[in-house]
């Protein structure tokens, strides 16, 4: 459990080993190139593959991939539009690499492969012009053309039809897929090796391990304005990018942008033993900065957790807007109440506390599964009677408490209906391998961003904007 406003503790209820680099990559079948004409002539006998996830796909400036006019007609343009939660924006990410809506597939018009080819909807036919492979950086690559799904000209105008273009990792080519589960992270979201800087240059530790801080603010802050604070010492990474970590118990390291102790901040938690480390990123209390960790052991092992690469690549305002667009009405205020400095966890927001406008958000559901004692804020915070019941608190937050206990650890069943902790779901959807600490007992069923290793060599902390 990660207790609110307290350092990390190890008396946690776990169901298994730490989850490290579990790839949740979208699978794409090897398919032959086909033409639009052949597709139209072929009999309509394609079996729709099993869905891996259904929901909104968000892109540039927080806009949603959209079936224009919610049409099921062949040739309907695929556009970007203000996210509105309608069926026109509920895409199914299928196991064969297609993106499906209203019985149609996202399709490159005429099976074209060149820059500027328009994107439309068409009968699913197994053609290579309907396959989209999610890349670690958030791009959607069509393997036949070798080009990516693109919002042309960085256009934020609702109704803009999408096209095909050379993959360039621009913000207009970064897409956030639904996961179909609170614990899942879609395609994994691991950053490229270059994201972590030159790890070969990290000095050898004289204590337990060496910690390096990497500036990933996309040029918003120079190294002289990226600060860390730990054990009574504060410095910018221009002054000191490395910290030789001694053994310590239940520590926190804070990170600030702009100025020490400024309003843009966040922290990681860790316990460092004589020859081990246990560490996590957390949004249990609030989201403040985009943080990611690379933990490397002397045995050559690597573990990565934290905010995923595509979220690091987008602007801060885009992340806040995507949060607002993706959560139900009761949670939207979280994205504006403390903006631009942070997004509070719902239990820390007045709207969900006693007397607030959403104070009874959990009341009916909690009572239906046997908890009539705890307030909505206590449920979000795993407090009250839930403080010593990890399984039950996690189940209520994930809306699986009505299921048999044996099904309550299945990520594909999480967050499928209200009432649920949609704040936590958002961070799972936007974290490496879907692992995040969105509420105190989020480590139940191995869903948290908590990692550990014996005989550690170094830890890289990427600090984003």
Kindly report the CATH number assigned to the domain that includes residue 452. Answer: 2.60.110.10
Domain end, chosen from 146, 173, 200, is at 173
Q: Indicate whether 204 and 266 sit together in one domain.
A: yes
* Beta bridge mates, 294: 304, 460
| Residue 145 within any structural domain of the chain | yes
pLDDT at 412: 77
Q: How many domains does the chain have?
A: 2
Rg (CA), the chain: 22
What CATH number did the domain enclosing 64 receive? 2.80.10.50
Whether the CB-CB separation of 305 and 463 falls below 8 Å is answered with no
> By residue range, what is the domain housing residue 279?
1-24+182-465
| Residue 162 within any structural domain of the chain | yes
DSSP code at position 271: E
pLDDT in tens, 270-304: 999 999 999 999 999 999 999 999 999 999 999 99
Q: Indicate whether 408 and 259 sit together in one domain.
A: yes
pLDDT at 179: 56
Residue with tokens 């309509």: 44
Phi, psi of 386 (to 5 degrees): -85, -5
Three-state DSSP at 411 gives helix
Please name which of 163, 130, 160 lies closest in space to residue 148, comparing C-alpha atoms.
163
Q: Indicate whether 7 and 48 sit together in one domain.
A: no
Q: Indicate whether 49 and 164 sit together in one domain.
A: yes
Domain end, chosen from 116, 150, 173, is at 173
Q: Is the pTM of this model over 0.75?
A: no
Distance CA 69, CA 49 (A): 25
Q: Indicate whether 56 and 4 sit together in one domain.
A: no
pLDDT at 317: 94
Q: Indicate whether 143 and 202 sit together in one domain.
A: no
Give residue 52's pLDDT band: very low, low, confident or very high (50, 70, 90). Answer: low
Least confident of 36-45, 192-201, 324-333, 336-345: 36-45
Domain end, chosen from 148, 173, 198, is at 173
Q: Indicate whether 410 and 301 sit together in one domain.
A: yes
Q: Indicate whether 286 and 252 sit together in one domain.
A: yes
Q: In the predicted model, what is the mean pLDDT of residues 143-169?
A: 94
Residue 54 has pLDDT above 80, yes or no: no
Please name which of 395, 445, 434, 446 lies closest in space to residue 178, comparing C-alpha atoms.
434
Please name which of 447, 465, 461 lies closest in space to residue 294, comparing C-alpha atoms.
461
| Residue 106 within any structural domain of the chain | yes
Give residue 84's pLDDT band: very low, low, confident or very high (50, 70, 90). Answer: confident
Find how far residue 146's CA is from the centre of its chain: 26
Whether the CB-CB separation of 349 and 334 falls below 8 Å is answered with yes
Q: Indicate whether 125 and 233 sit together in one domain.
A: no
Reported as half-sphere exposure (CB side, CA atoms, 13 A), residue 134 has a value of 29
28 vs 84, higher pLDDT:
84
| Residue 31 within any structural domain of the chain | no
Residue 27 has pLDDT above 80, yes or no: no
Whether the CB-CB separation of 41 and 84 falls below 8 Å is answered with no
Distance CA 17, CA 126 (A): 39
Whether the CB-CB separation of 334 and 343 falls below 8 Å is answered with yes
């Amino acid at each position: 459990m990660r207790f609110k406003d307290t350092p990390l503790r190890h008396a946690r209820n776990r169901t298994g080993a730490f989850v490290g680099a579990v790839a949740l990559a979208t699978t794409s079948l090897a398919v032959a190139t086909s033409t639009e004409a052949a597709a139209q002539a072929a009999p309509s006998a394609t079996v729709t593959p099993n869905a891996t996830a259904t929901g909104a796909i968000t892109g540039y400036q927080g806009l949603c991939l959209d079936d224009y006019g919610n049409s099921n007609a062949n040739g309907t343009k695929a556009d970007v539009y203000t996210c509105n939660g309608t069926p026109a924006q509920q895409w199914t990410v299928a196991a064969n690499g297609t993106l499906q809506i209203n019985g149609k597939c996202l399709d490159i018009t005429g099976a074209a492969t060149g820059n500027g080819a328009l994107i439309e909807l068409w009968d699913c036919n197994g053609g290579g012009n309907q396959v989209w492979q999610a890349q670690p950086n958030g791009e959607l690559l069509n393997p036949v053309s070798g080009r990516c799904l693109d919002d042309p000209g960085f256009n934020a105008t609702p109704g803009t039809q999408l096209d095909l273009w050379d993959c360039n990792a621009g913000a207009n080519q970064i897409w956030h897929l639904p996961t179909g589960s609170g614990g899942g992270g879609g395609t994994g979201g691991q950053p490229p090796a270059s994201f972590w800087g030159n790890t070969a240059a990290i000095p050898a530790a004289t204590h337990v391990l060496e910690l390096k801080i990497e500036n990933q603010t996309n040029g918003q802050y120079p190294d002289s304005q990226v600060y860390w604070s730990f054990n009574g010492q504060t410095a910018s990474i221009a002054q000191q990018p490395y910290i030789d970590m001694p053994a310590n118990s239940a520590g926190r390291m804070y990170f600030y942008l702009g100025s020490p102790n400024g309003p843009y901040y966040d922290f990681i938690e860790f316990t460092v033993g004589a020859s081990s480390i246990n560490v996590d990123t957390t949004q249990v209390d609030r989201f403040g900065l985009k943080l990611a960790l690379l933990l490397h052991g002397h045995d050559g092992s690597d573990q990565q957790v934290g905010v995923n690469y595509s979220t690091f690549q987008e602007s801060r305002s885009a992340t806040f807007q995507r949060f607002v667009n993706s959560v139900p009405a009761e949670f939207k205020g979280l994205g504006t109440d403390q903006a631009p400095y942070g997004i509070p966890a719902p239990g820390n927001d007045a709207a969900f506390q006693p007397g607030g406008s959403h104070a009874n958000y959990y009341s009916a559901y909690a009572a239906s599964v046997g908890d009539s004692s705890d307030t909505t804020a206590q449920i979000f915070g795993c407090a009250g009677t839930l403080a010593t019941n990890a399984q039950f608190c996690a189940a209520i937050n994930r809306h699986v408490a009505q299921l048999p206990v044996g099904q309550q650890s299945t990520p594909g069943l999480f967050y499928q209906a209200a009432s649920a902790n949609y704040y936590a779901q958002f961070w799972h959807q936007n974290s490496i391998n879907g692992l995040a600490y969105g509420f105190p007992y989020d480590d139940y069923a191995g869903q948290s961003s908590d990692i550990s290793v014996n005989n550690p060599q170094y830890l890289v902390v990427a600090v984003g904007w």
